[in-house]
Amino acid sequence: MPSLKSSAHSSEDRGKLRARTLAVIKRLKKNYPDAEIALRYSNPLELLVSTILSAQCTDVRVNMVTPNLFNKYQTARDYATANRKEFEAEIRSTGFFRAKTKSILGCCKALVERHAGRVPDLMEELLKLPGVGRKTANVVLGGAFGKAEGIVVDTHVRRLAGRLGFTKHINPEKIELDLMDIVPNKDWFALGNLLIWHGREICQARKPKCRECSVGDLCPSFGVFMKSLYAVRPNS
């Protein structure tokens, strides 16, 4: 995966965007003081496995599957030597279970062979593991090691970053780059969680609750959505 090198923001836009972004972050921190990763885990390996399972799946569903999984597979070697068919059946309800099985078992095999079964705390090493992209690496680094080397960009973050005018891109890596350019490093990990929580609670995909949004006056999409809410449909 290519490294992130530059942002699309012009120097003229950057200052205004940074100021507005800081205002958004401040309000969201007030609204969601306990915003954190919704996945349940007790160590870096559990978070890594949970994050891979969470692709195209809700955290609620993943949290229903992982207790039994973590009880059975407690080390990277346990996963690396797991029976593939059994594992597929155990995670089937999370969707895309064959691909996820391949990623998790392959990732843990690499952990055993390259890192003595331990999850590395460096972005470049995480990205070398099968099934691990920047989103997963950022979640693990921030949640398990307290390190912010980037910003988590999931479906919620991608949607809100666009609606809030923080980026014009749809590619996750380019979105992350734009966000890193206007958000202080100390808020990189927090921003992902804040946008995810706000996306679930208020700025939903199909019907955003603009009337309840605390950052509506800072959002360039607010007027567009409010007009659509009050639009009168012609008689059929």
Collapsing DSSP to helix, strand or coil, 23 comes out as helix
Q: Do 158 and 172 touch, CB atoms closer than 8 A?
A: yes
The residue annotated as part of the active site, out of 30, 34, 154, 227, is 154
The residue annotated as part of the active site, out of 16, 26, 109, 135, is 135
Q: Among 93, 66, 59, 61, which residue's Cα sits nearest to residue 197?
A: 59
Q: Do 107 and 132 touch, CB atoms closer than 8 A?
A: yes
For the packed helices 155-163 and 172-182, what is the interaxial angle rounded to 10 degrees? 60
Q: Do 131 and 102 touch, CB atoms closer than 8 A?
A: yes
Q: Do 117 and 25 touch, CB atoms closer than 8 A?
A: no
Q: Is 168 a catalytic residue?
A: no
Q: Do 136 and 154 touch, CB atoms closer than 8 A?
A: no
**Count of CA atoms in the C-beta half-sphere (13 A) of 94:** 26
DSSP 168-215: S--SHHHHHHHHHHHS-GGGHHHHHHHHHHHHHHTS-SSS--GGG-TT
- Alpha-carbon distance 42 to 45, whole Å? 8
Q: Is 135 a catalytic residue?
A: yes
| Residues forming the active site | 135, 154
